Structure 1
């Protein structure tokens, strides 16, 4: 009883907070100036089967997402109401009825429309990124309607966050050390010989997830693509922190030089494998870049490697997130090159064994087996082939979203529509990213034992990337012949005495596996 004789005031119950399956780190549950939920707020999580019914996801991705959600629920214990339902709406009705909820800004336009359509749901600002949307809007508006160059944005982020800076100057005297991070793979070894990345151990939650996925396939008509081998990526905060430590302490120092190289027997090389943890919300980008900078300042990593890693997160990842919202939901429908061809069955099914071109077969097998490849195979093998063949960019975007463990709408729309497929006509990049076989030969060991030769345009041994490159330039000559970065390449068409033969050959190749 209170000393005054009056009843003590009752504490108002906290509003429940809804966690999406990509908001799994502790920073989504901390109180803050944005009205965050705080440490005592009850939590609601909904596992909606309709997500997997609408799209045919990679089985390893489905496993990772469900495992991560259930691991987070286990961590939260009695604080969480975890609902398995057909849809989010159904799950929320079971969890809170008509009650109020808070939720951090979702990561897709579709999810944002959903939460805004629900009565009683308060949408908090986004978390899990370095730059707020209001800050980005102010920066973009200062560009006076000009292009939003990624390099300008990256430098601004570095200054704003005092990241890899020595006073007003960039660490190491350069903003961008990309020139030092483009070395081809060593020619005398099948691997880089790097320390192994962190590998999680599966537990009873993973066993439960695998049983449920089997049952969904057997009884509910939900289908997947790809293989669900032992889980390779973190599904909990503890595992994600262990993976970050492993990378920074043992792999960051050698990350930079071969960042853009490819090796058939070494798909991981020195890459961090942290993208899925970042995109699930298990890691915060600030802690990743801060640890990389600390390693450089302690003399445990060269500035080129630290900067290359920081640029991937504070530069490109942040830039892609902001582009997704800046350009609007209609960005996914852009098709400046008017590419309409459907994705062929062998590609949709990840049928690497049907493909003769070693680069494409190797990379497609990596996706089939793990749901992951690093950024260069994505851009310069998978994306480049799709661009050369004129596949529908929206379908290509959906494929990347479904088939990669780190693939989300906000990630893939700007990356695929804007960069990989040049479907927005240059809003995000200054040129189409595609090449002939010479680039792949220089930056990988794929070509040595391939049935095709990178220097052949026509004939039985004609490289599909070399021939496809020239066919692409011919198809879009009118658009690209005055492009400042493509005009010289387009003029090269005039030197091809076998151009007609090449075009007939590529038309005959059609959508079949190369």
Structure 2
């Protein structure tokens, strides 16, 4: 059934909460809160809180325009529709295959094109099909998106004459002597910038916490991670405030240390806007245009490299992951090219940082346990890298990332984990595995100085699990990588290891215990 224009009710999923998902200020809305979502899987406690808080805040903002239903299952609401929504329903294209299939199974519901992304799905499909067998490259897609949005452009050329400032955005963290004294109480970063903006909880958050406590006490749900004050926006107003704070105070320091990791400072100069954008509270196009405007209005205060690096994250990598999720299709989640079959160990699943001696892994797990968030390099080069080296199942790891991060959604994590992190697609997305040893972590972080392991030791009591694990990984897959020109140097290095036999035996016995 096609709804009559202006007479439809817009059904909003929990990740479609911004004004750009509605067609007018008077459109009626249906919101459904399903407890079964949290009963089926163990989410991070702070993620469950954020999603429920954002939905309930949106319902409160909409007031009488909103029909808000709390149910055990989505199906319960549609089997017995409330009177206010018995007419035609419209909904923007959902963000998962399962949700899309559910919408398509319903009567009197029209699915609209996706919103909250910079590129229409049909447009990406035409671009991808036009590659004619060549590997899809994010850089090509990103440049086309920049041109189409007229973003950081000077006519037909990129602003500053370069598309890519990655080389300037890969500095290691500053040495302790180079770090500023934090005399300003508002400064919470060793980079010398103010810390992130934090929201204040209200009575809605108080009720959410009480409900989650009760559900957990009743045995209906269980969580991972620690509860804590809500740290991410749950309303449009909060989202705009967080965006403005990042642009005014933190963006200028973002780029050069974008890939660095620092103990005691998980936030550094990152925006922390991923969860907010993924809830639909901010539109990615408005975010990148705001960053561009900040640079053009005050070019003396911003590095173009920092602005371009941020823009690349939002309408480059984030957008690319969304499009590839649909382009690759539902069978993509079952790929396991490296035949990684080991289950995730309990200490990892439970975010048990205290079970781990390796300082980088312990620190990152602890931050994730306490906040439900770490930035992209700890995700890729600590958590994902360790799983890749150990041969853990990519489907389990994808699910773990989805559940454990406040910004984790199926479309976000599937391509990131299966394709980029675990190389489980055999190179459809990236040209080589993102495997790295202790030397990389030592160069890009301050973790190794106070770790019981040494990043230069492969065998023995001080053997770094990443240094040894890297060579164990290359050894296991030597034949598979023999034809990959980007892995030739690693394979040649393997031939020079005199302690390879002892290393392999050591790593095979490391087992499922925490390193």
User: Do they superpose with TM above 0.5?
Assistant: yes
Match of 2:182 in 1: none
Distance 1:339 1:427 in 2: 17
Distance 2:456 2:93 in 1: 50
Is 1:122 paired with 2:115?
no
Is 1:464 paired with 2:450?
no
Match of 1:291 in 2: 290
Match of 1:33 in 2: none
Does the C-alpha gap of structure 1 residues 176 and 12 become closer, same or farther in structure 2, counting only changes over 3 Å? closer
Match of 2:416 in 1: 415
Equivalent residue for 1:168, pick from 156, 170, 185: 156
Distance 1:499 1:95 in 2: 67
Distance 1:95 1:270 in 2: 46
Distance 1:232 1:112 in 2: 30
Equivalent residue for 1:17, pick from 4, 10, 18: 10
Matches within 5 A, 1:168-317: 168-188=156-176, 189=179, 191-298=190-297, 299=299, 300-317=301-318
Q: 1:298-349 CA distances to partner (integer Å, 9 max, x unpaired)?
A: 2131110110000001110110000000000111111000101000000010
Question: What's the Cα RMSD here?
Answer: 1.2
SS, match of residue 509 in structure 1: coil
Deviates more, 1:434-443 or 1:132-141: 132-141
SS, match of residue 450 in structure 2: coil
Distance 1:99 1:85 in 2: 20
Residue 214 (structure 1) shift: 0.5
Match of 1:498 in 2: 499
Match of 2:405 in 1: 404
Distance 1:12 1:436 in 2: 58
TM-score of the pair, normalised by structure 2: 0.95
Matches within 5 A, 1:76-95: 76-92=62-78, 93-95=80-82
Does the C-alpha gap of structure 1 residues 18 and 462 become closer, same or farther in structure 2, counting only changes over 3 Å? same
Match of 2:371 in 1: 370
Match of 1:455 in 2: 456
CA contact (8 A) 1:44 1:95 kept: no
Q: 1:281-306 CA distances to partner (integer Å, 9 max, x unpaired)?
A: 00001111001111111213111011
Q: 1:189-229 CA distances to partner (integer Å, 9 max, x unpaired)?
A: 48212211110000000000000000110114210010110
Q: 1:482-509 CA distances to partner (integer Å, 9 max, x unpaired)?
A: 2111111112111111000000000111
SS, match of residue 60 in structure 2: helix
User: Is there any run of 5+ residues in structure 1 with no aligned partner, and where?
Assistant: 1-10, 31-37
CA contact (8 A) 1:372 1:404 kept: yes
CA contact (8 A) 1:481 1:491 kept: no
Distance 2:384 2:219 in 1: 33
Distance 1:387 1:140 in 2: 28
Matches within 5 A, 1:278-357: 278-298=277-297, 299=299, 300-357=301-358
Distance 2:29 2:108 in 1: 15
SS, match of residue 486 in structure 2: coil
Q: 1:434-468 CA distances to partner (integer Å, 9 max, x unpaired)?
A: 11000000000000000000000000000000000
Deviates more, 1:358-367 or 1:143-152: 143-152
Distance 1:259 1:395 in 2: 28
Does the C-alpha gap of structure 1 residues 428 and 12 become closer, same or farther in structure 2, counting only changes over 3 Å? closer
SS, match of residue 103 in structure 1: strand
Residue 12 (structure 1) shift: 8.8
CA contact (8 A) 1:339 1:391 kept: yes
CA contact (8 A) 2:166 2:309 kept: yes
Match of 1:34 in 2: none
Residue 39 (structure 1) shift: 3.3
Match of 1:136 in 2: 124
Equivalent residue for 2:53, pick from 45, 48, 67: 67
Residue 101 (structure 1) shift: 1.1
Distance 1:511 1:485 in 2: 30
Distance 1:372 1:460 in 2: 31
SS, match of residue 449 in structure 2: coil
Residue 98 (structure 1) shift: 5.6
Deviates more, 1:218-227 or 1:229-238: 218-227
User: Is there any run of 5+ residues in structure 2 with no aligned partner, and where?
Assistant: 180-188
TM-score of the pair, normalised by structure 1: 0.95
Q: Segments of 4+ in structure 1 off by > 3 A?
A: 96-99
Distance 2:454 2:473 in 1: 19
Q: How many residues align?
A: 497
Distance 1:58 1:116 in 2: 29
